Every structure is written in C-alpha cells, then in structure tokens.
Amino acid sequence: MVKEPKEYRWSSYNWYAYGIEDHLISQQPVYQSFGRDAEERQQKYRQFVKGMLKEKNAMKGEMDRKLVYGSSAFIGTLTKKYLIAGELRAIGRPKKTSRKIKDNRPLLAPWFHAAFGQLFF
C-alpha cells in the first residue's frame, strides 16, 4: 500500500491531479465540473482527494468498495443521474441466515416435519 495516491503506479490520480498524460485514461464528465480550466480542475481534484483521505480514511479499505467519492449529496446526484450504485456489491444472492425454532432445531419445511419429523426429532 502506498502513502499517497500519486505514488500508486496504476492510479488515474496523476492524470487528474497533475495533468500527466496517460493514454489509458478516459476523462470522466464530472471532472469538468471541478473548474473552468485544467489548472483549476487539477487543484480542486487534489483538494477533493486530500479531503476524502483525511475525512473518510479512504486509503484504508473504503476504496475497495466505493465507486463514487464525495459528499452524500454528490453521490446521490451521480447515482441518480447515471443510474449507478455508489458501492460495489457482492456477486450473487445474499447469504441466508439460519432460522431457528424454540428448541434450537433448524426450521424446516412443514411437509418435512410431517413426513420425517418423528424419525429425526
């Protein structure tokens, strides 16, 4: 893990924060809202990331889950406008939790109890 975003080789941070050219990066439309010219956008982007690192400790695991960073209002606006989720979700169905009945036995289908209940319980 790196201490600063600019130290991470595979990050788009240097492109957005300092204008260092990288042909693999496509500029995100929201980046234009950071300022009128490249210098202003870069400065505001650096401040934005610095604030996220300080406020939310984003380099310590949050970045693994987040797709959008910013205030709740900003995240809400983007998620509604672009129909995206603010966080990554686990793939597949949520895991089921085991339901129990009074005597701590697993809750089974009624037909199972009717057919086999006396054999096992």
Q: What is the mean pLDDT of the chain?
A: 75
- Read off the pLDDT band of 106 (50, 70, 90): low
Q: How far apart are CA 46 and CA 85, in angstroms?
A: 24
Averaged pLDDT, 5-30? 88
Model confidence, pTM: 0.49
The pLDDT assigned to 26 comes to 85
Residue-wise pLDDT tens digits, 25-48: 888 888 888 999 999 999 999 998
Domain parsing of the chain, residue ranges: 5-82
Instruction: Name the residue with higher pLDDT: 103 or 53.
Output: 53
